[in-house]
Every structure is written in structure tokens, then in C-alpha cells.
Amino acid sequence: MSYDLIVIGGGPAGYVGAIRAAQLGKRVVCVERDRMGGTCLNWGCIPTKALLKNGEVYNTMAKKAAEYGISVGELSVDWPAVIARSRQISERLSNGISFLFKKNKVDSVVGEARIVASGKVEVTAADGSVSMLEGANILIATGARTREVPAFPFNGNTIIGSKDALVMPKRPDSMIVIGSGAIGTELSYVYHCFGTKVTLVEALPRILPNEDNEVCTAMERAFKKQGITCMAGAKVDSLRDNGDSVTATITAKNGKVQEITADVCLVAIGVVPVVPEANGLELTERGFIKVDERYRTNISGVYAVGDCIGGIMLAHTASYEAEQAVEGMFDCEYTPLHPVHVPGCTYCHPQVASVGKRERELQEAGVEYRVGKFPFMAIGKAVATGETEGFVKLLFGKENGELLGAHIVGDTATEMIATPELAMNSELTDADMNAMIYAHPTLSEAIHEAVLAADGRAIHA
């Protein structure tokens, strides 16, 4: 059967691209080697958020119930039920994608895809059977996988990756986490909530190193207050598997060498691209697929989007790129857009969200700017809900007042970041943002106060 588009990969890039092409009236097939939804839905974004919610509920009942006037008896955790809930949610949403495919008349095939020529994809099923798909266009959306360190190979028991951490049959009493990006930070928080003693190790000078410096400092302070041991600027020299535990030799930033033993070590130092077999496909030095401004590869009729092409490796970026590539693929007059202002979110507690420039970037570039910062502790809704930790920090151009960056640490930071992102995309100034009326009482009032603070006139400071 011949298709207008063959999509390889059923994650946030692949299934979105497939559905968009179908909406344009095209005949589409999507090839996925595992379950629809890719890593994000099955082993990343979604199951981790389910576990985070479980952890937050338990943590609130265990440590803050009295603050809300609630008395509880002895708390206990059914760990297999905790894990089962996250898996059930992933399965439900994966089935939802299959429903959307049927609704939009998108065909789906399970198997390993190989591009044998322009317009031809060979699919090998789990039973070894091989089928051939033909199509005018091919969209590679194969994503990325957990990066392994050769010196610290995963064994699924004492040295694990994020996928293993989501299905551990027994909660460990202690855990070392190497890497404090979003994955390492979120899973550190999840396991800490349920009572695991967590040591978070980061080679760079700050945890969550991609965030604004003040955000990094605030999160390290929050984690230490909660009881998570943070070792920033530290290097893991070696890991020794003891059978039922693991021992890490770590050089701290002061040069002191120490050994830490834990039940499990989670290695969360990033991801590497997954690239399907395709003769002649051009890659970058780091192994990502090379694409042009229209997301075309060097093979005629073959496009690529999402984590496999590098850039800002986030699920929402991948979906955005997929829509843009498909629009341009079937309309030669359409100019595909590329991500510019992309929000980044970390769903620990307090949450972290940011968009645009960090303060250190503006300083390095010699850009003159004004800072507006406002704490949640001065916001009525935050005080009423007992979530006063964190702040909103906005960076405005000094001359014209354009919003250059936004950084939020707080209870619903990941929801609030949409407002400054919209402001940046719409090229709003501080005057425009101040002209808005912010509902009271809401946490979003902190955005308004931060706008005012940039001009030295916050009302509730």
C-alpha cells in the first residue's frame, strides 16, 4: 500500500505529525517499535508526573497535615500500588493515541523500521516477519534514549536508568542520583517523598544547572531543607557493585574524596539520539540527524523532527517541530517555523519553570536589563494554600521594556509560565503586561508584582 507519509516513531513528534498530516487529508501510517506515545508517555513525562503526585500527597499527609488542621493515623505506602497507578495512566493514554489514530484514519504498524531507499521503509515485527511500506514522504521521529556511561553499565538492580526507576518492585532505603537535570531532580524528589535517603550528585557547580543561577540556589536550598543531600560541583570517580548495594567514590568540589554506599544508583546524565538504519543519512558530530530549515534530511523525501535532530530536546518542542514539518511538507509555499521561546519545566516541589534568557546570558552578552522579582510569601493565595516557597523573576530590556526571560520557582510554576511565554511571543513590554488585570486571589498575581518590581513600584513588597 502506498502512503503520502510514513512516520517512524509514535512519540510526541511522531503521533502529532501523523495526525496533522491526516487532518490535511493525507494517507498516513505510523511505525512504532513499542507502544504508542514513545518514551514521553510510557517511560518519561507522564509516569513521572503520576509518581510525583503520589509523592506530594503522601508528603503532605506525613509532614503538613497538622498545618491544615487534619489529624491522621499511622501512614503506610503500598509501593506496588504506587507503581501500578503510574503504569495504568501510561497505558490509558497510549490507548488514547490508538483511538485518535482510528478517528483520523491513521494506520499503525508495530515493528523496527529501516529506511531502505527514498520512499521505502522496511518493518521487522517482533516475530521476525518483514513487510515493506511505500510512501511519498518519510518523517523520522525516533526520539532519544537514556545515556549510559561505559564505566557505570546498567544492571537493572543496583545501577539503573530512569526507565528502571519507574518500575522498581521495591522502594530502596537509599539512593544515589548522578545528574541533576529534570529527570534526576524529579526522581530524587519522588523517592525522597516516600522515605528513601537520596544523595543528588551534579558535576556542574549548581543543581538544575540549565536554570537561572538564583533558581539553582533556591532549589538547592529547598532540597536541603527537605532532607535531600545535594553535592554540586562533585565528580563520581567510580561505582562498585556490591551485589545488593552500590558504592560510589565521589570527589567533592572542595577536593575531598569520600565513599557513599546506597541500595541503588540512578544514572541520569542525559539522553542520546535514536536513529533508524538508513544508508547515507547524514548525522552531526554528536550523532543527531542533520536537517535543513524545512526539516529535510539529505535523503530526498525524508524529514526528521524531535529529539533525534537535537536542539531543545523536550516533548512539546518535538510536537511543535512535527506540525511545522508536516505543514511545509505538503505546502511548498509554507515556511516552517523553528522553536524560539520554549518553556522548560521541572516538576519537583517546588516546581521550576523558565522561558527565554537567563541573567548570566544577558550579562555575558552585554545586554542592559532590569530585574523584577517577587516572592510568593507576599501573595495572598500562596499564604492561604500554605505554598509560600519560591518567587517570580522577570528580565526586561532596559531601553524598551521587552520581556527577555522569565523564571519561576513555586507550587504551580509549570502552569504559570505560559503567561510570560505568551508575552515574549507577542513581543509585549512591561507596560503591556502591567496593563493586564490579574485575577485575585491567584498565584499569577506574583507575575504582575514582578512586572511592577522591575520599575521599583511593587505594591505588596
In this predicted structure, the answer to whether residue 1 has a pLDDT above a threshold of 80 is: no
E-strand ranges in 54-181 read: 107-110, 112-117, 120-124, 130-140, 144-146, 159-160, 174-178
Q: What is the pLDDT of residues 200-245, one digit of tens each?
A: 999 999 999 999 999 999 999 999 999 999 999 999 999 999 999 9
pLDDT at 452: 97
Q: What is the pLDDT of residues 111-128, one digit of tens each?
A: 999 999 999 999 999 999
pLDDT at 73: 86
pLDDT at 459: 95
* Yes or no: domain 159-267 corresponds to CATH 2.60.290.11: no
* Yes or no: domain 2-146+272-330 corresponds to CATH 3.40.30.10: no
Stretch 154-162: mean pLDDT: 94
Domain locations in the chain?
Answer: 2-146+272-330, 159-267, 350-453
* Same fold yes or no, 2-146+272-330 and 350-453: no
CA 44 to the chain's CA centroid = 8
Cell, residue 391? 518567587
Q: What is the pLDDT of residues 88-97, one digit of tens each?
A: 999 999 999 9
pLDDT at 368: 97
Q: Which residues of 390-417 are buried (b: 16+ CB within 10 A; e: fewer)?
A: bbbbbbbbeeebbbbbbbbbbbbbbebb
Q: What is the pLDDT of residues 317-340, one digit of tens each?
A: 999 999 999 999 999 999 999 999
pLDDT at 150: 86
Q: pLDDT band at residue 366, thresholds of 50, 70 and 90?
A: very high
Region of 340 on the Ramachandran plot (φ > 0 left; ψ -120 to 50 alpha; else beta): alpha
Cell, residue 206? 549548581
Q: What is the three-class DSSP state of 239? A: strand
Contacts of 183 (CB under 8 A, 6+ apart): 44, 48, 162, 268
Stretch 10-27: mean pLDDT: 98
Q: What is the pLDDT of residues 418-453, one digit of tens each?
A: 999 999 999 999 999 999 999 999 999 999 999 999
Mean pLDDT of all residues in the chain?
96
DSSP state, residue 438: P
Q: What percentage of residues in the chain have a pLDDT greater than 70?
A: 100
Residue tagged active-site, from 316, 349, 407, 440: 440
CA 302 to the chain's CA centroid = 27
In this predicted structure, the answer to whether residue 302 has a pLDDT above a threshold of 80 is: yes
pLDDT at 259: 97
Stretch 58-86: mean pLDDT: 93
* Yes or no: domain 350-453 corresponds to CATH 3.30.390.30: yes
Q: Active-site residue 440, yes or no?
A: yes
* Dist. CA 354–CA 52, nearest whole Å: 20
